[in-house]
Structure 1
Amino acid sequence: MARAQDELLSTEIVNRGMENSGPYAGSLSFSVRVRRGLPDFLNSVNLKYVKLGYSYLLSPVFYFLTAPVFIVIFSAQIGNLFIWQDFCPRCDPIGALFMVGLLGLIIYIYLDLSSRSTYLVDFACYRPPNELKISKDEFIELAKKSGKFNGAAIEFQRRALKNSGIGDETYMPRVVFQPGHKITLKDGREEAAMVMFGAVDDLLAATKIRPRDIRILIVNCGILNTTPSLSSMVINHYKLRHDIHSFNLGGMGCAAGIIAIDLAKDLLKAYPGCYALIVSTEVVSYTWYSGK
């Protein structure tokens, strides 16, 4: 059946049973005649060379190889009009139009083949309120008061704080130490909204860019992957355009930030002259270790 579809076959079905006079008069019998419709262009040898020539035509190497030829012709036309005729006012207008068109073609090819640059307009980092700032000593005290950790776990966390480089100016959600509180997905989404919206608000205020002007949105978070996604939270909160190119990267760890930047660079090449918003975050409350 796949072969028949590829060859674009046409069929004729003829009812011959109604004219029979035998014991099975009135029964239906069918005769199928198969005729070839169109040639199989997909497997044609000529089409293969057409594809090959088309790929060569679109290759930048083709333009670099043919550019010297056009330059020679252009120089010859310049010589004919302005050197040999000594700036004669009766110059050939067809030759002049040819040179102008050729020069425009060369400029167009050069601009089309030149790689477009990607610029960082601005960036912003969210800074939580001071009530969420927790020192290392306060961290240990809150962990003890939560009643969720035994002595061995407290000692392990003390060593982890010392060796991880976390200082006394660290912010974290205090809900993880709240006694009797069970962390839910709502806590994680609230933390994500606080961090993402806080950073994007500062960024939009500094750049004066309207949310409707953003055509590409990339959000990455290594731990929290919700449905609806974090990118949909940003789209709904800022009322971004309905045809925005949205991407939500999750489960990639710390490499997701670099991957998001590389993805934005590739997308800006496909959609030049627009803005791409990258939101990189991490949510710790939903996956926080709550002891035994």
Structure 2
Amino acid sequence: MVFIAVLLVLYLAFKRRVTIYLLDISCYQPPKYYRLPISMYLEHISLDNQFDPDSVEFQAKILEKSGFSEETSIPPPLSCIPLRKSLSSVKEEAMTIMFSAITELIKKTNTHPKTIDILIVNCSLVSPTPSLTAMIINKFKMRSNIMSFNLSGMGCSAGVISVGMAKDLLKTHRNSVALIVSSELLNQNWYTGKNPSMLVTNCLFRMGGAAILMSSRNQDKGKAKYVLQHLIRTTKAQDDKSYNCVYEDIDSKNKPGLSISKGILNVAGDALKANIASLGPLVLPFSEQFRYTLSTILRKISQTDKSYTPDFKRAFQQFCIHAGGRAVIQEMEKRLRLGAEDVEASKMTLYRYGNTSSSSIWYELCYIEAKGRMKRGDKVWQIAFGSGFKCNSAVWKCIQDVGYEKTNAWIDEIHKYPVAIPDLVKIN
């Protein structure tokens, strides 16, 4: 009787376990004529009467230190003189990015749109009516009973938030398929005022987006690339400094913009510390956990700020740190004691595509795949930061070797990378 009871408990435990698979990813590749060379951008804003000489000079200074190549892209209306901002333009931008990424993804995974059970779209600054999810459902003629969700205002970390939402829904609704679309739309939010903290966004954000297909169907194990192992979300919104760090507002001339505080690196560091305190025990070997715990105890006794940073390279083989900016990547490299190759995907994503907000971690994952570095058994740590302030982590395990894929957004120029980018000199 006891033996039967044990078997029953084991059976029920196994039955309740649901594995979440990542089938594939598709990142939007802007056409070459969407490129925005830095010299062209500076020329355009110099000729545009909306920007005064001081604003132009400030943006030139930021772009000089940005770590951008001449390949980053923006929507065509923002390249006009004067630039054009309109609802029709932002909708066209949304359709261009999202439809392209989704079309490629369903083609490479041989997925019919009507077999998709869950649709999640995240875009922080644009929330039209009908919604972006409705736009996708209409375009691809998805089912009338599809579960659709539109996330806005969640910042650059919304990609991991979408994964967490998909995970919970896929566990509740077993044997289902979820499509995530992560993007940020630039047209309506391009700042044309004189506030330096708002002008920074024009120099950081660029056009991009990604579509991700996840599943909880057992039959998808054979064709899935990754299995989701952990997802940790941390918010510091209860702290006023963190809450106001990245803030949408209007300037003194009633022009809307997104303000980025100079203290963002310290805020991101605090959020990261809280996030890894929760993630560490789940992924680190015992020896690293012991050192970290001992360090924490000694720090409290001695009342110092110094603490031991665990060696996360003992837990992960691949790293995808949000390409929020050159200084952000450099700071994370320092704080996590990572090597040049560990942050290569992040630096090269920023270099070629710029900050594409929530989709940047997916461009980075595609970079690692295109370089042929992703092997079966590798664990990947995706770290994303966003307004609020938030730090979110997703941990994936690769379950098959990832070979050459002609649809990878990097494959046309992967032979050119990595390129040398000098260390950032602090801007005063």
Per-residue deviation, residues 205-257 of structure 1 (Å, max 9, x unmatched): 10000000000000000111111111111111101110011010001101211
How far apart are residue 180 of structure 1 and its match? Answer: 4.4
- Residue 219 and residue 151 in structure 1: after superposition, are their counterparts in 2 closer, same or farther (change >3 A)? same
In the alignment, the residues of structure 1 paired with residue 32 and residue 102 of structure 2 have an alpha-carbon distance, to the nearest angstrom, of 19
Contact 2:46/2:56 (<8 A) preserved: yes
Give the counterpart of 1:179 among 68, 71, 81: 81
Does the residue aligned with 2:189 lie in a helix, a strand or coil? coil
Per-residue deviation, residues 68-124 of structure 1 (Å, max 9, x unmatched): x530xx5xxxxxxxxxxxxxxxxxxxxxxxxxxx898566424323x2111110000
Residue 231 of structure 1 pairs with residue 133 of structure 2: yes
Residue identity opposite 1:259 in structure 2: I
Range 266-275 or range 209-218, more displaced: 266-275
The residue number in structure 1 matching 2:15 is 112
Residue 188 of structure 1 pairs with residue 90 of structure 2: yes
The residue number in structure 2 matching 1:259 is 161
The residue number in structure 1 matching 2:124 is 222
Does the residue aligned with 2:148 lie in a helix, a strand or coil? strand
Contact 1:204/1:210 (<8 A) preserved: yes
Residue identity opposite 1:109 in structure 2: L
Note the 1:119-130 alignment, pairs <5 A: 119-130=21-32
Note the 1:154-173 alignment, pairs <5 A: 154-173=56-75
Contact 2:122/2:181 (<8 A) preserved: yes
- Residue 111 and residue 104 in structure 1: after superposition, are their counterparts in 2 closer, same or farther (change >3 A)? same
Give the counterpart of 2:47 among 126, 145, 151: 145
How far apart are residue 283 of structure 1 and its match? Answer: 0.5
Does the residue aligned with 1:194 lie in a helix, a strand or coil? helix
In the alignment, the residues of structure 1 paired with residue 118 and residue 29 of structure 2 have an alpha-carbon distance, to the nearest angstrom, of 25
Does the residue aligned with 2:91 lie in a helix, a strand or coil? helix
The residue number in structure 1 matching 2:210 is none
How far apart are residue 150 of structure 1 and its match? Answer: 1.5
Contact 1:221/1:283 (<8 A) preserved: yes
In the alignment, the residues of structure 2 paired with residue 181 and residue 170 of structure 1 have an alpha-carbon distance, to the nearest angstrom, of 17
Give the counterpart of 2:148 among 246, 251, 256: 246
- Residue 215 and residue 234 in structure 1: after superposition, are their counterparts in 2 closer, same or farther (change >3 A)? same
Residue identity opposite 1:278 in structure 2: I
The residue number in structure 1 matching 2:114 is 212
The residue number in structure 2 matching 1:94 is none
In the alignment, the residues of structure 2 paired with residue 180 and residue 136 of structure 1 have an alpha-carbon distance, to the nearest angstrom, of 17
Residue 280 of structure 1 pairs with residue 212 of structure 2: no
Contact 2:44/2:81 (<8 A) preserved: no
Contact 2:20/2:170 (<8 A) preserved: yes
Residue identity opposite 1:260 in structure 2: S
User: What are structure 2's unaligned runs of at least 5 residues?
Assistant: 195-428
Bigger relative contact order, structure 1 or 2, given CA contacts below 8 A and separation 6+? 2
How far apart are residue 173 of structure 1 and its match? Answer: 1.5
Note the 1:45-60 alignment, pairs <5 A: none
Structure with max Cα Rg: 1
The residue number in structure 2 matching 1:70 is 2
Contact 1:146/1:177 (<8 A) preserved: no
User: What are structure 1's unaligned runs of at least 5 residues?
Assistant: 1-68, 75-101
Structural RMSD (CA): 2.0
How far apart are residue 274 of structure 1 and its match? Answer: 1.5
TM superposition outliers: structure 1 runs of 4+ over 4 Å? 102-108
In the alignment, the residues of structure 2 paired with residue 291 and residue 212 of structure 1 have an alpha-carbon distance, to the nearest angstrom, of 45
- Residue 227 and residue 235 in structure 1: after superposition, are their counterparts in 2 closer, same or farther (change >3 A)? same
In the alignment, the residues of structure 2 paired with residue 170 and residue 233 of structure 1 have an alpha-carbon distance, to the nearest angstrom, of 26
The residue number in structure 2 matching 1:20 is none
In the alignment, the residues of structure 2 paired with residue 266 and residue 288 of structure 1 have an alpha-carbon distance, to the nearest angstrom, of 35
Does the residue aligned with 2:26 lie in a helix, a strand or coil? coil
Does the residue aligned with 1:171 lie in a helix, a strand or coil? coil
Per-residue deviation, residues 110-140 of structure 1 (Å, max 9, x unmatched): 4323x21111100000001110011111111
* TM-score for both structures, normalised by structure 2: 0.43
Aligned residue pairs total 194
Contact 2:20/2:167 (<8 A) preserved: yes
Q: Percent identity?
A: 38
Residue identity opposite 2:43 in structure 1: E
Does the residue aligned with 1:224 lie in a helix, a strand or coil? coil
Does the residue aligned with 1:170 lie in a helix, a strand or coil? coil
In the alignment, the residues of structure 2 paired with residue 272 and residue 200 of structure 1 have an alpha-carbon distance, to the nearest angstrom, of 23
- Residue 283 and residue 224 in structure 1: after superposition, are their counterparts in 2 closer, same or farther (change >3 A)? same
Contact 1:188/1:286 (<8 A) preserved: yes
- Residue 172 and residue 180 in structure 1: after superposition, are their counterparts in 2 closer, same or farther (change >3 A)? closer
Does the residue aligned with 1:290 lie in a helix, a strand or coil? coil
In the alignment, the residues of structure 1 paired with residue 137 and residue 109 of structure 2 have an alpha-carbon distance, to the nearest angstrom, of 18
